[in-house]
Structure 1
Amino acid sequence: MHSRFVSTLAVVGTALAGGLVPATAASASIRFDPAKGTGYVGRNDVQAPFRWSNAVLQARAAGITFSHSRSIEDVYSVVCGWDKPNGGRDHVTIVVTHPRLSTRVYLRSSVAYDASSVSSAEPRGRVVGFRLTGAVSGVSGTSVGPAVGAPCPEGRGQSGARTIDRVRLKSSTTISALTASYKGVDRDLRVTRS
């Protein structure tokens, strides 16, 4: 126990003196500013979702990429109507979830190493985390939600012309996710809903 405590203090002291981020349990939390695309992700925050050993993370660290996605999902109450064969109009109310906005920003990152752990097996030192230093590129898309007069969602209503007679927005949810990727495999590191 004593040697582990002293080792942790040595790593923390070396890291603070050298400007590195310490490899402690406290540093395992993610710090991320979505507006700037900057922050820090600790090694455990990447290692655990991928279920990698220390050696695998060490070998793959340089190939890990990061992205931030944001989407807005709207939930509507939609009244679909159709003409009855014998006259009049019939209605059914349905709930529709509509993906209004989707964005994904790819982030520039660099691997953070513990310089005090340099060895012949780990010439740069042990991976302690990843610095996120801003956006590289991005992609986004939007779509139009249900509108009065538009066709009803597929399979809703009865035979004949089915159109939307009324629409009411019930709720909107913004989903934000920080994701790590390695060779086409994505793992969400932090997901927030608001």
Structure 2
Amino acid sequence: MILQLAVAGAVLAAPVTYDPHTMTGYVGQRDVRHAFGWTAATLATRAPGLVFNQEFWTDDSYTVSCGNGSFPVTHHRDFGRYWLTVKATGGYGTVTGWRITGASSGISGTSVAPAAGQPCPLPGRGTTIVRAVKTGTKAGCELTVTSEDVRRDLLVC
């Protein structure tokens, strides 16, 4: 499944195309400039330092009771990031985009789901969880680009 980015109803001249399963695709320089609000000159100086990632997560929904009523809880079950391998496209010193060819590395983590006996996640509702019932699951991912310490989303998959 290839995903494309459309902005305000119009597809950009070189839209982001990305397949999260194969971690391959293309990001045009206009998409990166738009994401950061950069001029062509700023992009030219910052292009070598850009980092492209695929962030992913699975969130489970629970109804939790701690003795004083029930309430919804979102449990971030797993989460992680792939560092993507990119090759700049263009010529004569001008970057026109980046071809994404896969992941070079990744990291992920998990967390413990809410369960009876654990501390209550909401103050004033009781001290421990009496009951936790899973009500749903939602997974997702994003294609992101980072320059120095500023991260921007390019595509939600």
For the aligned pair, the TM-score class normalised by the smaller chain equals: 0.7 to 0.9
TM-score, length of structure 1 as denominator length: 0.69
- The Cα of 1:156 is off from its aligned counterpart by 3.8
Cα displacement string for residues 70-119 of structure 1 (whole angstroms, at most 9, x for unaligned residues): 011222111112xxxxxxxxx32121111111110001111110x4xxxx
Aligned mate of 1:132, from 78, 100, 112: 100
Percent identity over the alignment is 39
Aligned mate of 2:37, from 28, 51, 60: 51
Q: Does the aligned pair in 2 maintain the 1:80–1:156 contact within 8 Å? A: no
Provide the residue aligned with 2:71 in structure 1: 94
Of Structure 1 and Structure 2, the greater helix share is in 1
Runs of 4+ in structure 1 over 3 Å off: none
Q: Which amino acid aligns with 1:164?
A: I
CA distance in 2 between partners of 1:53 and 1:29 (Å):
18
Alignment length, in residue pairs? Answer: 147
Q: Which runs of 5+ in 1 are unaligned?
A: 1-24, 82-90, 116-122
TM-score, length of structure 2 as denominator length: 0.84
CA distance in 2 between partners of 1:174 and 1:156 (Å):
31
Provide the residue aligned with 1:107 in structure 2: 84
Structure 2 matches for 1:1-194, cutoff 5 A?
A: 27-81=13-67, 91-113=68-90, 115=91, 123-124=92-93, 126-158=94-126, 162-192=127-157
Which of the two has higher C-alpha Rg?
A: 1
CA distance in 2 between partners of 1:141 and 1:156 (Å):
30
Determine helix, strand or coil for the equivalent of 2:121: coil
Q: Which amino acid aligns with 1:95?
A: P
Q: Does the aligned pair in 2 maintain the 1:106–1:136 contact within 8 Å? A: yes
Root-mean-square deviation (Å):
1.7
Q: Does the aligned pair in 2 maintain the 1:31–1:39 contact within 8 Å? A: yes
Q: Which runs of 5+ in 2 are unaligned?
A: 1-10
Of Structure 1 and Structure 2, the greater strand share is in 2
Change over 3 Å in CA distance of 1:93–1:26 after alignment to 2 = closer
Determine helix, strand or coil for the equivalent of 2:113: coil
Q: Which amino acid aligns with 1:134?
A: G
CA distance in 1 between partners of 2:56 and 2:89 (Å):
26
